[in-house]
Amino acid sequence: MQLQEILYSQGFGTRRVCAGLIQQGLVQVYMENDAIAPVECAQAAMEFVAERLRFRVQGVDWDYFEKAYVLLNKPAGTECSQKPSTYPSIYTLLPSPLRLRPQKSAVQGVQAVGRLDQDTTGMLLLSDDGQFIHRMSSPKKHSPKVYEVTAKHPLDGKQVQRLLEGVVLDDDPKPVRAAACEIVDADGAALHLRLTLTEGKYHQVKRMLAAVGNRVEGLHRSRIGALQLPQDLAPGQWRWLRPEDLQKLQVKAA
């Protein structure tokens, strides 16, 4: 694949912009047998094997990924929207190549797999692979999602049991029961709970606690499937999902 096509596919701008970066000497490529010193490339039409290619653009190292699979530790006070209404967008936390990766549809760049409220923190997946987004978002997948919940009032045993058996979310067009598949009392007072869901209804955790006469004061998603949010990934930081991460999510990369 031509170098300018590789840069274009990775979100570094139009083909003309990518060719300009190369011609200005702003692109270097790590050759297969030399992972220390990248070689400057001045010709946009130079051919490379894209798979496993490492390159440097304007001083920043990148790896080639046919599809992008990203994990973000979402901070509070951000919206999962390209056009936020009140708070900054989560997409401003990502480098521009992730936001500009070309797609066949009108949508550009990586997209969030589902959404978290502006005040909810924790694990958020993003990708430009439509099939991955669909599989991870599909209610048929029943992928467990674990939330660390801080309630306004301690929940008693009856309230916890109601959450496990299922509560009716009254404002649904067709009210159905929503249930937690597991609840762990994290502090012995039932004020801090670890709650596992396999559904993804709008504001589900908040609405479930409201249905038993309580209120969510803090909400943090710590796990999806068998993939745990890394402790060394600070709020606002992101990293690529590794093959072993995708395996924990029980999905295959495109």
Active site residues: 117
Question: DSSP 3-state assignment of 195?
Answer: strand
Cβ atoms of 57 and 21 closer than 8 Å? yes
Where does residue 60 rank: exposed (0-12), middle (13-18), buried (19+ CB within 10 A)? exposed
For residue 74, what are the β-bridge partners?
122
Look at residues 50, 122, 126, 123 and name the one whose alpha carbon lies nearest to residue 81. Answer: 126
Pairing of strands 145-151, 192-197: antiparallel
3-state secondary structure 69-87: EEEEEECCCCECCCCCCCC
